[in-house]
Amino acid sequence: MTHRPFIVGNWKMNGTRAMLAEARAIDRAAERFPDVQVALAPPFTLINTLREAVSAMNVGGQDCHAEVKGAHTGDVSAAMLADIGADFVILGHSERRRDHGETDAAVRAKADAALTAGLAIIVCVGETLEERDAGKAEAVVSGQVSASLPVGDDAQAAAAAGKIAVAYEPVWAIGTGRVAAVEDVVAMHAAVRARLNAAYGEAADKVRILYGGSVNAGNAADLLSAADVGGALVGGASLTAEAFLPIIAAAGSGEA
């Protein structure tokens, strides 16, 4: 199945209302590339405001709690994200796994909650440098895919697959300036696709696999043209229209 490339900016813990001008500029750029699905995941504090400020882009959250409500100080539920206009949520980012001790089981519970709330999900997977150097990269990532994604009977799987993307982000490449070799990205995406096929059967074709990890204007074209790379999850380069637009352009057609 052919998909529109999915280019997602993850603003992480960056962004105040002063950055809405950048978001509007990115949105205007997205209008020029209708063959690309563009999205931003700002901090929770900006989701509603950004949703009202843009028209061409999707807007999402960077995390959610697995419970619908309750005594979970500082957390945000998937239902709350949907209520303020979020289209999707990023789950299992390596920074969440590292800094908050999130397990595959916790990510899967959040994924179930997000899908129940009507959100699309981007589930992040990736290996550390030590795991890659030990020759365990594909085994680690394949295991994360199997344990982090929701599964069910054939009908449930087919319905869920259409709202799922997987982002392969080698941990050692996130924010470091290092980028995985294209051949390594292709090999890992093939391993992820094999696990998706096992989990969802024919419906797995609906799942896009994104690459993330120091994606920028200089490397986006090579990465996005690689086999089974369905888009990119972009960190620092998504914070300004100037840096993000060339990545959007590399995924689409037209003039930047």
Cα separation, 130 vs 219, in Å, equals 24
- Give whole-number Cα distances, 2 to 213, 250, 253, in Å: 24, 17, 15
Catalytic residue among 95, 131, 138, 169: 169
- The two tokens of residue 45 are 């504090």
Spatial separation of the C-alpha atoms in residues 33 and 208, rounded to whole Å = 19
- Alpha helices by DSSP H, 13-103: 20-31, 47-53, 78-83, 94-99
Which position among 93, 95, 131, 138 bears the catalytic label? Answer: 93
Confirm whether 169 is a catalytic residue. yes
Q: How far apart are the C-alpha atoms of 127 and 144, rounded to whole Å?
A: 9
Closest to 138 in 3D by CA, of 207, 92, 198, 191: 191
Helix (H), strand (E) at residue 221: helix 220-224
Query: Residue 71 burial (CB < 10 Å; 0-12/13-18/19+)?
Result: exposed
CB 149 within 8 A of CB 108: yes
Tokens 């003039």 found at: 255
Helix (H) or strand (E) holding 125: strand 120-125
- Residue 100 is among the residues annotated as catalytic for this protein: no
For residues 119 and 135, give the distance between their C-alpha atoms in angstroms, rounded to a whole number: 35
Q: Is 14 exposed, middle or buried (0-12, 13-18, 19+ CB in 10 A)?
A: middle
Which residues are part of the catalytic machinery?
A: 93, 169
